[in-house]
Structure 1
Amino acid sequence: MNDFFNVVNDITPLQKEEQMALAKAVRIRHLDLGDAWIKEGMSTHQLAFVSEGYIRKYYLRNGREVTDGFFFDNAFAGDLPGLLARRPALCHLVAMEPTELFLLSFDSLEAMAQKYRAIERFLRSVVTQDFVQFYHRHLGLHVTPAHERYAQLLHQQPLVTQRAEPYHIASYLGITLQQLSRARGAIKKPG
Structure 2
Amino acid sequence: MQQLFQYFKQFSPLTAEAMDAIADICKLLHVAKHTDLQPIGHTCKTIYFLNKGIARIYYYKDGIDITESFAFENDILVRVESLFTGRPSRKAIQVLEDAELVAIDANQLFQLYDRYPEIERLFRKIFEAAHVETVNRIEALQFHTAEERYKALLNEEPNIIQRVPLKYIASYLGITQVSLSRIRSQR
- Tell me what 1:163 maps to: 163
Q: Secondary structure at the match of 2:10?
A: helix
* Deviating more after overlay: 109-118 vs 10-19: 109-118
* One-letter amino acid of the structure 2 residue matched with residue 67 of structure 1: T
- Tell me what 1:10 maps to: 10
Distance 1:23 1:156, change over 3 A: same
Distance 1:183 1:54 in 2: 23
Residues 36-71 of structure 1, C-alpha deviation per residue, up to 9 Å, x if partnerless? Answer: 110111111010001111111100111111001111
Residues 3-56 of structure 1, C-alpha deviation per residue, up to 9 Å, x if partnerless? Answer: 111111122111111111111110122211111110111111010001111111
* One-letter amino acid of the structure 1 residue matched with residue 15 of structure 2: Q
| 1:116 paired to 2:116 | yes
Distance 1:13 1:154 in 2: 31
Paired residues for 1:44-59 under 5 Å: 44-59=44-59
- Tell me what 1:67 maps to: 67
* One-letter amino acid of the structure 2 residue matched with residue 30 of structure 1: H
Q: Work out the number of aligned pairs and report it.
A: 187
Q: TM (normalized to structure 1)?
A: 0.91
- Tell me what 1:141 maps to: 141
| 1:153 paired to 2:139 | no
Distance 1:45 1:87 in 2: 10
Distance 1:159 1:119 in 2: 33
- Which ranges of structure 2 fall in alignment gaps of 5 or more residues? none
Distance 2:129 2:136 in 1: 11
Residues 83-133 of structure 1, C-alpha deviation per residue, up to 9 Å, x if partnerless? Answer: 111111111111111111111111122222222222112211221122111
- Tell me what 2:38 maps to: 38
Q: Secondary structure at the match of 2:84?
A: helix
Distance 2:53 2:59 in 1: 20
Paired residues for 1:69-148 under 5 Å: 69-148=69-148
Distance 1:157 1:115 in 2: 38
Q: Secondary structure at the match of 2:90?
A: coil
Distance 1:45 1:112 in 2: 15
| Cα deviation, residue 185, structure 1 | 4.7
- Which ranges of structure 1 fall in alignment gaps of 5 or more residues? none
Q: TM (normalized to structure 2)?
A: 0.93
* 1:70–1:160 Cα contact (<8 Å) kept: no
Q: Secondary structure at the match of 1:11?
A: coil
Distance 1:182 1:77 in 2: 31
